[in-house]
Amino acid sequence: MKTPSTNLLHLFAVPGLLAVGLASTQAHALEFSGYLRSGVGGGEHGGTQSCFQLPGAQSKYRLGNECEHYIELDLRQDLLTLDDGSVLSVEGMAQLNNAYGHTPKFTGEYGYARMNQMYAEWSKVPALNGGSLWAGRRFYKRNDIHITDFYYWNQSATGAGIEDFEFGGLKYSYAFSRKDSYFQEDYINRHDFNVAGFKVNPGGELEFGLSYIDKPDGDDAHSGWAITAQHKQRDFFGGVNTLALQYGRGPGTGLGYTGDVTLDRNNKSWRLVEYFDWQATPRLGGQMQFVYQKDTRPDGEDQDWLSVGGRTSYAFSEQFKLVGELGHDQVDARDGTRKLTKVTIAPTWSPAGPGFWARPEFRLYLTYASWNRAAQQAATQLAAGSALSDSGVFGNARHGYNFGVQVEHWW
């Protein structure tokens, strides 16, 4: 039996050996990119920081509210450029996660280590008018809101597909996959179709997507589908505005993912996503979001989720910023209306410059949150020991604060 340390060694050995083997290909440079966040935090009652997330909400406001060390290390190598200009490439990414307050072994109950990308791609194919063919496990057409890390439309999966085949001024994509989440136990066939490039107004572009989930084997299983329409408007008050509408039935109620296959077509979900990124001046920037989702269930377990908030940063110098974030989540469910409001202030040093997206950032932060009794009762029932539950670090109180230091960087 392999020990956890052996598993971790093998995880790093795969991209490491890939890098050594491919580095000998002199015609193409090896590309190395990644992401990391790490730090240490505590709470008003001592001990390790405990993060605030409302039961039923699919995301949380991140600033000063992340309780794990997280790393992604990515290697990409172009193997061969053909005479027609097309390129054959391979890519692999290691992912590591470990909760605060525990030795960072990246294994066991408080952490994990895995390969979240490992695929081959044939890109810039003339027969596809510049499109690509790919196969493997990859990040694919991910759409997210940064301040909450909410991947509302995410087709990443293990599978194969044709990406961005251009015809008539539009780009067409199709992907067949069988597993779109590491935490999804069963392999379920899924088909994703996308059409992008509709120039509907100056600076504005529409994209449409359809996901179909096959009915898996089993008496209590169903097929489902989901559709998404998204509009991006550039040069909008100095930034980019995104508006998305999503609707799904049966397992399609997962919207951005494969949902519960035991749900039939009478189960419905729809979602509206609106977020705005701006850099008003070289020193003032931010992001704000509005998300509303309604889930309708025949068994009466209907639920409505509302999330409104934003993060802004102002740089007093080329390297020092003050960053603030305010977010409110609300879930209307059978047991009542749950509410959580969270605010964070973070003096930040960024040697990369004053912009909102400049990284790395080194932050000191203070986070305060308050929640109502319905939120506490739901957390006690659904997530005992979490920050909002009466068995968590804040006990019967319905408010609390955390503090800490964090570094975030991508390259």
Residue 76 pLDDT level (bands cut at 50, 70, 90): very high
- Interatomic CA distance for residues 39 and 261, integer angstroms: 38
With b for 16 or more beta-carbon neighbours within 10 A and e for fewer, the 293-312 pattern comes to bebbeeeeeebebbbbbbbb
For β-strands 361-371 and 336-349, DSSP reports them as antiparallel
> Can you read off the two tokens belonging to residue 159?
């599978």
The pLDDT, as a whole number, for residue 19 is 45
Closest residue by Cα to residue 55 from 296, 340, 397: 340
Q: Does domain 4-410 have CATH number 2.40.170.10?
A: yes
Question: What's the whole-number mean pLDDT along residues 207-213?
Answer: 98
Question: What's the whole-number mean pLDDT along residues 77-93?
Answer: 97
Mean pLDDT, all residues of the chain = 92
The pLDDT, as a whole number, for residue 324 is 98
Q: Where are the domains of the chain?
A: 4-410
pLDDT tops 60 at residue 194: yes
β-pair partners for 163: 132
Closest residue by Cα to residue 190 from 203, 208, 166, 209: 209
> Tell me, what amino acid is at 334?
R
Is 345 strand, coil or helix? strand
6's enclosing H/E stretch is helix 4-23
- Interatomic CA distance for residues 143 and 136, integer angstroms: 20
Q: 161 near 176, Cβ under 8 Å?
A: yes
Q: 244 near 230, Cβ under 8 Å?
A: yes
Is 14 strand, coil or helix? helix
What percentage of the chain exceeds 90 in pLDDT?
Answer: 85
pLDDT tops 80 at residue 81: yes
Residue 109 pLDDT level (bands cut at 50, 70, 90): confident
- Residue range 225-261, pLDDT digits in tens: 999 999 999 999 889 999 999 999 999 999 989 999 9
State the DSSP string of 22-63: HHT-TTSPEEEEEEEEEEEEEETTSSB------TT-S----T
Residue 15 pLDDT level (bands cut at 50, 70, 90): very low
pLDDT tops 60 at residue 77: yes
Q: 213 near 222, Cβ under 8 Å?
A: no
Is 247 strand, coil or helix? strand
- Residue range 115-164, pLDDT digits in tens: 999 999 999 999 999 999 999 999 999 999 999 999 999 999 999 999 99
> How many CB atoms lie under 10 A from the CB of residue 228?
24
| Residues recorded for the chain | 411
Question: What's the whole-number mean pLDDT along residues 191-200?
Answer: 98
Q: Look up the pTM and report it.
A: 0.90
pLDDT tops 60 at residue 8: no
Question: What's the whole-number mean pLDDT along residues 2-23?
Answer: 43
Contacts of 25 (CB under 8 A, 6+ apart): 77, 79
